[in-house]
Amino acid sequence: MINQSENEWSCLSPQEKKRQLFLRQKKLLDTFLEKGAITEAQYNKSLGDLRELMGMHGVE
């Protein structure tokens, strides 16, 4: 049986899946920064690398 989130995910376009994955990864970086697990410099570098790798320039 497919749960609701899996069903919603399967309905997304490949570009929207990529965007959602980017946002999840960014949220994880946000949490690491908030908890002090990484420095702001590490955050900025990692976020920049993530944007570049995924082609998500301009996505907040």
pLDDT in tens, 13-54: 999 999 999 999 999 999 999 999 999 999 999 999 999 999
Residue 2 confidence (pLDDT) above 60: no
Instruction: Tell me how far the alpha carbon of residue 58 is from its chain's centroid.
Output: 13
Under the banding of pLDDT at 50, 70 and 90, the label for residue 6 is confident
Strand, coil or helix: what is 15?
A: helix
Residue recorded with tokens 């960014």: 26
Query: 7 pLDDT band (50/70/90 cuts)?
Result: confident
CA 10 to chain centre: 18
One-letter amino acid at 4 equals: Q
Rounded Cα–Cα distance for residues 55 and 22 (Å): 10
